[in-house]
Amino acid sequence: MKIGIEAINFYTSHYYIDLKCLAEDRNVPFSKFYHGIGQEKMAAPPPDEDVITLAANAAFAAIQSVDTKKIDTVIFATESGIDQSKSGGIYVHHLLQLGKNCRVFEVKQACYSAAAGIQLSVPYLTLYPDRKVLLIASDIARYGIGSAGEPTQGAGAVAMVLSAQPNIVAFDKDSGIFTEDVMDFWRPNYRDEALVDGKFSIKMYIKALIESWQQFSERSGRGFADFYRFCYHLPFSRMGEKAHIHLAKYAGKEEYSNEFMMSQIIDTLYYNKIIGNTYAASMYIGLLSLLENSDEDLAGKRIGFFSYGSGCVGEFFSGEVLPGYQKFLAPEQHTKFLNNRTEISYEKYKEFFTYSIPEVDGDHRTPKNETGLFRFAGISEHKRIYQGLL
Ligand code: HMG
């Protein structure tokens, strides 16, 4: 029996800034961002967009071709949740009008949590092959105006329907896992922006990759040459390149040319370069970028996945692309959607970024912007109000 992705879709904010604006403001060459970290544009969500509306927009399209009565589990993976108690998934479950016989919960471990969602869903669906899991990863990456991390912000969501009737990717059984208690990136409850030790976080990412790979290859018996493409967690696209070069040197049996190594990851980078870090969602936006931009038919090819969440947990796992997967994707719509976004100025971005909801009770309405089919309309009696524009 194969368990994997039956349907998948992503969504990001309608608004972005070009990192050339940020470079101009900081008086640094824009090549530092375009080439040094490999990022060109950064999604900049307005006040009436949050992880719930991003998630609902991603999931709405993902479930259109699915028998939603069979979804009995919604897993909401995020590190930028909107409530300390209630799962963001319940708001999305309501907005999508899913059935009431459904368990809904939120998972958190920095950018890693959606991979945990996959690892727990695969054995669950093996036991109950008639059921489906809706796994949503949705995040808004915030480091703060003027911080070193600012050019690596972003926002977006991915929704995947996982089931025993996969159309796109079937996951393999084995994975390799690594955990270590480190402070490379964290966000205390009293802060809206993450704290980060940037250079250390890069070192920990690479360490977690190599350690996870070691266990993965021992458990699975698979080697580097068994993989055609690799999808990495992408906090910025050059991180994927750095990671892949390290893995190729460590696990490969020969010296590979840069051209060859880049060919194994390049298609995964396009969407992230113009969206930014989407934390828990980023690796799966990378997967969609690969499947929708590759010139080749990838059916039957094996993909390696490395998910990293600061703090930290890493996991290497794998999957095979399924025949006919192209029929279940929407590359033209995604390209059109990304090209039709609105570029905003650095000033407008700062206005969006610094907007805050008053903590005092009252009837607070958010200003209206383009947010797709769903919007965060405001707060009343400390309750968030969402509108579906269907
Ligand atoms: P920085 O100090 O601004 O940049 O921080 P830098 O000085 O290190 O420069 C970056 C690169 O640009 C360097 O290349 C420079 O040489 C190059 P490298 O040496 O790395 O190959 N450069 C130029 N290139 C072309 N033209 C120029 C030029 N100038 C310099 N003119 C840093 C960069 C990524 C550390 C910072 O943005 C940051 O702290 N970001 C946030 C942390 C992060 O993304 N960490 C990644 C690993 S941890 C992770 O992935 C988890 C995470 O997603 C969170 C989670 O799990 O929840 C973050």
Nearest CA to ligand 1 atom 10: 36
User: In DSSP terms, which residues pair with 162 in a beta bridge?
Assistant: 5, 133
How many C-beta atoms lie closer than 10 Å to residue 333's C-beta? 12
Say which residues have a Cβ less than 8 Å from residue 337's Cβ, sequence separation at least 6: none
- In ligand 1, the atom with minimum distance to the C-alpha of 29 is 31
pLDDT in tens, the chain (390 residues): 999 999 999 999 999 999 999 999 999 999 999 999 999 999 999 999 999 999 999 999 999 999 999 999 999 999 999 999 999 999 999 999 999 999 999 999 999 999 999 999 999 999 999 999 999 999 999 999 999 999 999 999 999 999 999 999 999 999 999 999 999 999 999 999 999 999 999 999 999 999 999 999 999 999 999 999 999 999 999 999 999 999 999 998 888 999 999 999 999 999 999 999 999 999 999 999 999 999 999 999 999 999 999 999 999 999 999 999 999 999 999 999 999 999 999 999 999 999 988 777 778 999 999 999 999 999 999 999 999 976
Angle at 170 between CA 159 and CA 332, to 5 degrees: 50
pLDDT of residue 178: 98
* Lookup: tokens for 145: 């105006």
Nearest CA to ligand 1 atom 4: 148
Which residues lie with the beta carbon below 6 Å from any ligand 1 atom? 29, 31-32, 35-37, 79, 110-111, 148-149, 151-152, 185, 196, 198-199, 201-202, 205, 233, 235-236, 239, 277, 279, 308-310
Nearest CA to ligand 1 atom 18: 36
Short-list 245, 227, 365, CA closest to 305: 227
Residues annotated as catalytic are 79, 111, 233
Does the global pTM surpass 0.85? yes
Three-state SS for the chain is CCCEEEEEEEEECCEEEEHHHHHHHHCCCCHHHHHHHCCCEEECCCCCCCHHHHHHHHHHHHCCCCCHHHEEEEEEECCCCCCCCCCHHHHHHHHCCCCCCCEEEEECECECHHHHHHHHHHHHHHHCCCCEEEEEEEEEECCCCCCCCHHHCEEEEEEEEEECCCCCEEEEEEEEEEECCCCCEECCCCCCCCEECHHHHHHHHHHHHHHHHHHHHHHHCCCHHHCCEEEECCCCHHHHHHHHHHHHHHHCCCCCCHHHHHHCCHHHHHHHHCCECCHHHHHHHHHHHHHHHCCCCCCCCEEEEEEEECCCEEEEEEEEECCCHHHHCCHHHHHHHHHCCEECCHHHHHHHHHCCCCCCCCEEECCCCCCCCEEEEEEECCEEEEEECC
